Structure 1
Amino acid sequence: MSAKIKYTNEALGDVKVIKDFLPSPAELSFNEEAVKVTLSLSKKSVDFFKSEAAKNHTQYQRMIRRLVDAYVTSHSEP
């Protein structure tokens, strides 16, 4: 990694800023009916959610479920 990166001052083209729709970790700790699924996640992601769940006194699986629910809500058609 000794090669230097050369930056240019080029136009970015069509850049679109999207609203940050993801909830904070504290907002991911609600109770809701669940369906069990098998899902493989990266160790980094699971460690993050376990850490945040401990800070917010909740379960990390519940936080992941709420994150997926928030994504679905923000991308569902009205």
Structure 2
Amino acid sequence: MSEKTKYTDEPLGPVKVVPDFLPAPEELVFKEDTVKVTIALSRESVEFFKQEAEKHHTQYQKMIRRLLDAYTLAHKQPAAKHSSRRKKRTAGR
């Protein structure tokens, strides 16, 4: 049996508030809109994701999809920037 934790009334020290990073429940309900593609990946990459997926009890394809989604979100520019840039290029032609 494990040892019981003893709590005391000592000060905690500096506390840091962490912003909420979890998705809202409504974001977990709907299935994502996905498209099936065929892609050739390096054997090393696929083996890595398969090993990691096994460790974390998930599917390696799902891990790759989430990685690509995170990359896209981090590098996606708002549509307004794209359209204004395109107008500038075509305006001089």
- What TM bracket, shorter-length normalisation? 0.5 to 0.7
Matching of residue 60 in structure 1 with residue 60 in structure 2: yes
- Relative to structure 1, the CA distance from residue 58 to residue 71 in structure 2 (aligned partners, 3 Å threshold; closer, same or farther) is same
Question: RCO (CA 8 Å, sep 6+): is it higher in 1 or 2?
Answer: 1
Give the % identical residues.
61
Measure the CA separation in 1 of the matches of 2:51 and 2:33. 23
Give the partner amino acid of 2:50: K
Measure the CA separation in 2 of the matches of 1:32 and 1:63. 14
TM-score, normalized by length of structure 2?
0.48
- Relative to structure 1, the CA distance from residue 41 to residue 71 in structure 2 (aligned partners, 3 Å threshold; closer, same or farther) is same
Matching of residue 45 in structure 1 with residue 48 in structure 2: no
1:14-57 Cα offsets, whole Å, 9 max, x none, are xxxxxxxxxxxxxxxx9744210000000000000000000010
Measure the CA separation in 1 of the matches of 2:68 and 2:61. 11
Give unmatched runs, 5+ long, in structure 1: 1-29
Give the RMSD, CA atoms, in angstroms.
1.8
Measure the CA separation in 2 of the matches of 1:47 and 1:65. 15
Give unmatched runs, 5+ long, in structure 2: 1-27, 79-93
TM-score, normalized by length of structure 1?
0.57
Larger Rg: 2
